[in-house]
Chains A and B, each alone.
Chain A
């Protein structure tokens, strides 16, 4: 018997699952991947686009070139999952049947949820990063404020990385002395992880980057150029960069497969939907209280693929489950970086920042296209 394995979303998680299932399941599966654009985007590169260190065209490839030949790619928008008859409805009107469904639908940003924030900059989309880069090119000095307007958001250390890269950028343009960089953090530290915060806070101070704690962005006044927190504090800015609130995909909300914010409830080890045994979800799309990052989607993908292949072969579920593993790089500016590694049972650890980790990240950014989507990196 040949099962229909349907994957929604051609990001890092969905692409790896498609390739691994196609490779391991052979004739047991017809693997189809649906993606709304047909382009695979390397989102960690947005930060570099914002500060002019990367060109947008280097961050995307045709999804068809990253998939094994056995995987059928359908470029269309999935609009509804019908669990009663195991079908996914597409925008074109077509429907696709599934026996096993993988929701790798990611997250979306909703800046409109923050009153006054429509004009604020962000580095959470190609358009946002490109527009921010243009604004920085025209910047001649003043106060740049970076704040967080919603939790959870993609890549928890990104705001910290951004302020370090921004500091480098302004120094290179000889604007640093005429500028202030203010990082507003939801907690009383640089970001959620305490060990890494302790490591980066002295570097923030050394670079003259001002950290304001317990500042959860609530509203923006674009006329008077101020941002106000839930805690009642107000800060003025000349250029505002916000991490916008995130939600799960509209498909998930419309199909009632997620919680109130569209995050899909899954078992944190098997990634199986808590109510539908033939649906898996991974990456940003889930409600697992762990980083929303490509790294998580990457490690989860092999677990979901192994589970599906075992089910197709009629074998017992694999012993290999997702253990909460996360491995992220964190740029600290001036050509240095550190890493953050942890899992469900081990608290985060970070080595001292060094040039080595910066080069490791640069190498990963370049080799990504030939290793990760194909499932070649464990």
Chain B
């Protein structure tokens, strides 16, 4: 991956909406423009992360699945 990820969140095994809440909390602790990487297993997290990013103005720059684990990279919006 080409971007510098400042935080990785392992949210495997958690069911919705916990992955969103844990990510929202983590986003508060990083600076605008920084990236966070999330791993989750709840299938609902795919549409939820997309909608959450749209609603909050943060960017979902990667969303894929690797060996049954959903993987997301989010960029914090500029202040």
Residues of A near any B CB (own CB < 8 A):
151-152, 186-188, 192, 194, 213-214, 216, 230-232, 289
Task: Determine the distance from Cα of A192 to Cα of B44 in the docked complex, in whole angstroms.
Answer: 10
A289-B14 contact in complex given A213-B55, A214-B55, C-beta closer than 8 Å: yes
Contact B24 A230 (CB under 8 A): yes
A216-B24 contact in complex given A192-B16, A289-B15, C-beta closer than 8 Å: yes
Chain A residues contacting B55 (CB-CB under 8 Å) are 188, 213-214, 231
Chain A residues contacting B24 (CB-CB under 8 Å) are 214, 216, 230-231
A186-B17 contact in complex given A213-B55, A214-B52, A230-B24, C-beta closer than 8 Å: yes
Interface residues contributed by chain B, number (CB under 8 Å): 17
Least CB separation from B42: chain A residue: A289
Q: How far is the CB of A99 from chain B (nearest CB, A)?
A: 32
Chain A residues contacting B13 (CB-CB under 8 Å) are 289
Task: Determine the distance from Cα of A213 to Cα of B51 in the docked complex, in whole angstroms.
Answer: 10
Q: How far is the CB of B38 from chain A (nearest CB, A)?
A: 15
Q: How far is the CB of B58 from chain A (nearest CB, A)?
A: 9
Chain A residues contacting B9 (CB-CB under 8 Å) are none
Chain B residues contacting A216 (CB-CB under 8 Å) are 17, 20-21, 24
Task: Determine the distance from Cα of A231 to Cα of B52 in the docked complex, in whole angstroms.
Answer: 9
Contact A187 B20 (CB under 8 A): yes
Q: How far is the CB of A152 from chain B (nearest CB, A)?
A: 8
Contact A230 B18 (CB under 8 A): no
- Residues B1-38 near A (CB distance < 8 A): 13-18, 20-21, 24-25, 28
Confirm or deny: B56 has a beta carbon within 8 angstroms of a beta carbon on chain A.
yes
Contact B52 A194 (CB under 8 A): no
Chain A to chain B: the 4 pairs with minimum beta-carbon distance, closest first: A230-B24, A289-B15, A186-B17, A188-B51
Chain A residues contacting B28 (CB-CB under 8 Å) are 230
Contact of B16 among A187, A213, A214 (CB under 8 A): A187
Contact of A188 among B14, B21, B48 (CB under 8 A): B48
Least CB separation from A215: chain B residue: B55
Contact A151 B18 (CB under 8 A): yes
Contact B17 A187 (CB under 8 A): yes
Q: How far is the CB of B28 from chain A (nearest CB, A)?
A: 7
Least CB separation from A232: chain B residue: B56
Contact of A231 among B14, B16, B44, B56 (CB under 8 A): B56
Task: Determine the distance from Cα of A192 to Cα of B55 in the docked complex, in whole angstroms.
Answer: 17
Task: Determine the distance from Cα of A16 to Cα of B47 in the docked complex, in whole angstroms.
Answer: 39
Q: How far is the CB of B78 from chain A (nearest CB, A)?
A: 13
Task: Determine the distance from Cα of A230 to Cα of B44 in the docked complex, in whole angstroms.
Answer: 20
Contact A214 B44 (CB under 8 A): no
Task: Determine the distance from Cα of A216 to Cα of B20 in the docked complex, in whole angstroms.
Answer: 9
Least CB separation from A233: chain B residue: B56
Task: Determine the distance from Cα of A230 to Cα of B52 in the docked complex, in whole angstroms.
Answer: 12
Contact B21 A230 (CB under 8 A): yes
A187-B14 contact in complex given A230-B21, A231-B24, A232-B56, C-beta closer than 8 Å: no
Contact of B21 among A151, A213, A289 (CB under 8 A): A151
A186-B52 contact in complex given A192-B16, A289-B14, C-beta closer than 8 Å: no
Least CB separation from A289: chain B residue: B15
Q: List 21 A-B contacts (CB under 8 A).
A: A151-B18, A152-B18, A186-B17, A186-B20, A187-B16, A187-B17, A187-B48, A188-B51, A188-B52, A192-B16, A192-B17, A194-B44, A214-B20, A214-B51, A214-B55, A216-B17, A216-B20, A231-B55, A231-B56, A289-B13, A289-B14
Residue of A152, A216, A230 with highest tally of chain B CB at under 10 A: A230
Task: Determine the distance from Cα of A216 to Cα of B18 in the docked complex, in whole angstroms.
Answer: 10
Residue of B17, B28, B51 with highest tally of chain A CB at under 10 A: B17
Task: Determine the distance from Cα of A187 to Cα of B24 in the docked complex, in whole angstroms.
Answer: 11
Task: Determine the distance from Cα of A187 to Cα of B44 in the docked complex, in whole angstroms.
Answer: 11
Chain A residues contacting B20 (CB-CB under 8 Å) are 186-187, 214, 216
Chain B residues contacting A213 (CB-CB under 8 Å) are 51, 55
Q: A192-B15, A230-B21, A289-B14 are in contact. List 12 more A-B contacts (CB 8 A).
A: A151-B18, A186-B21, A188-B48, A188-B55, A192-B17, A213-B51, A214-B24, A216-B24, A230-B25, A230-B28, A231-B56, A289-B15
Chain A residues contacting B44 (CB-CB under 8 Å) are 194
Q: How far is the CB of B25 from chain A (nearest CB, A)?
A: 6
